[in-house]
Chain A
C-alpha cells in the first residue's frame, strides 16, 4: 500500500491505496467523493472526468498514485462553497440532464473547456464534448446549457 496525499477541491486529502487503484476508485471509495462516476473503466465514456492540475482527465485512466501532489477538482468542488457555478446554474436552467449519471463528467469537461475557450461556438462545444457519452438526452439540452453558460460568463 502506498501513501497518497493530494489536494482535492482545495483541501489536502490523504489515503492509502495499492498502486493499481485508479484515481476514480480512490476518489469514490477512499475519499467518499462519489460524485465522480465510473461508466466504462476503459476511458471512452467520460463519466469519470475530473480536473487535474488544470486539465480535464479521465480518472479511470490514472492511477491514484499518479495524482500524488496534484491539485484535483471534482464535481463536488466546482461550485463556490457547496453552491453552483455559473455553468451548473445554466445547465439547470437548460434542463440539460435526465438520469444524471453522465453529468459530473460532462460538467467537469465543459468547465475545463470553457475556461480555455470561453468564446467557443456550438460546433466547437459539440466536438469538445464528443468524448462524453450521454444515453438519455440526445445532447442538445447539454449543448444549450453550455452555450448559455458561455453567454452568461461573457455578460458578467
Chain B
C-alpha cells in the first residue's frame, strides 16, 4: 500500500524511484539544496496531479519473458504487481517509468510451500491468500500476525507479498517481519538467480538491493521453532493505517528460558530496524515484566527516529519503548501456549 510521507508532491523525502529522474525531480532536488532565496528558478510547476502519466505497458506470461523485458529496459521500467503502492505513486506522478511490466499473469509466482524448515512464498502471492494460508499460520506465525494489519481487505485483495517487500516502505508491516526473521529474497535475472538476506535487501527509503534487471520471485521465511511465541504490535493513527511505530517480535522459549529473540521495528528509520541489542539482552533470560522494561529502555535509548506530521522523534522513541514492553509480553504469553 502506498504511503506518502507528510508532504505534497514537491517534498524531497519523496521516493528515489530508479525511473523517477525527470525535470520535475531535478527541480525539487535543486530547491532543497537550499538555493539562496529569493532566487529565480526555472522549474516545471507541480501542483497536484492524480491521473497516471503516459506509460507503455507489457504483460509477460512467463518469468522468462519478464526477465527479457527487464534486461532490455532496466531502470526505465517499473514492475507492476498488486499495484496498491505503485499505482498511487504513478497517479501522483511521482514515479514516471517509461514502461510498466505487469507480472500479474505469472501464475508460477503464486505458490506457497513449506520445505526444509522454511516456507517459500511466491512474490505474486496475494496478501489475502497468505492471510488465509494454513501453511503460513502454522509455520511462520509472525507473518500471519502481521498480515491482517496491512491496510484493509480491499488492499489485501490485490496487494502481494513480493510487491510489499520490493516497495520497501519502512513503515510497512512486512519488511519488519522479514528483517526480524532474516528472511531471504530470491531474485532472478537473465544472468541467473541470487539469494539476498533481509539485512542486505533493505537499503534505504523505498530502495532495495534489487538490480534494475532483476525480478523478485520468492521470499523465504524460516519456520518457527517449537516454543516460539510472536507478536506484531503497532501504533497507528487509525485501524488499518501505516504504523507510526511497529514492532515484529518473536521469542523462543526452551524450558522457560529465552533461547531466541527477534525484534524489528517499522517506522523508526528509512529501513526496518533490527533490535539486535535488545535481542542480546533477552537471550538466556527468563521472561518477566522487569526484564522487558529494562530491554525496552535500553533498546530505545539511542534511537533517533524521524519526525513527521504524525509523530515527533521523541514520540516515536517513547512509543517504541512501549511497544517493546507490550510486544515482548505478548510474545512470551503466546510462547507458553505453544510449549
Contact = CB atoms under 8 A, between A and B. Distances in A.
Establish whether A and B are touching in the complex (CB under 8 Å): yes
B107 interface: no
A63 interface: yes
A42 B92 CA distance: 8
A128 B154 CA distance: 9
A62 B325 CA distance: 40
Interface residues of A, number: 30
Contact of A130 (B56, B84, B100, B239): B239
A11 interface: no
Given A62-B83, A65-B59, A66-B104, A42 B54 contact: no
Counting chain B CB atoms within 10 Å of each CB, the highest count among A43, A46, A49, A65 belongs to A43
A131 B2 contact: no
Contacts of B104: 66
B49 to A, nearest CB: 10
Contact of A63 (B56, B87, B152): B87
B60 interface: no
B157 interface: yes
B149 to A, nearest CB: 11
Interface residues of B, number: 34
B232 interface: no
B144 interface: no
A55 B100 contact: no
Contact of A57 (B51, B154, B239, B240): B154
A58 interface: yes
B50 A56 contact: no
Contacts of A127: 239
B336 interface: no
B92 to A, nearest CB: 7
A66 B83 contact: yes
Nearest to A65: B57
Contacts of A113: 153
21 contacts: A20-B52, A21-B52, A22-B52, A22-B87, A25-B51, A46-B154, A52-B157, A55-B154, A55-B157, A55-B158, A57-B158, A58-B84, A61-B83, A61-B87, A61-B155, A63-B57, A66-B102, A112-B153, A128-B152, A131-B151, A131-B152
Interface of A: 2, 18-22, 25, 41-43, 46, 49, 52, 55-58, 60-63, 65-66, 109, 112-113, 127-128, 130-131
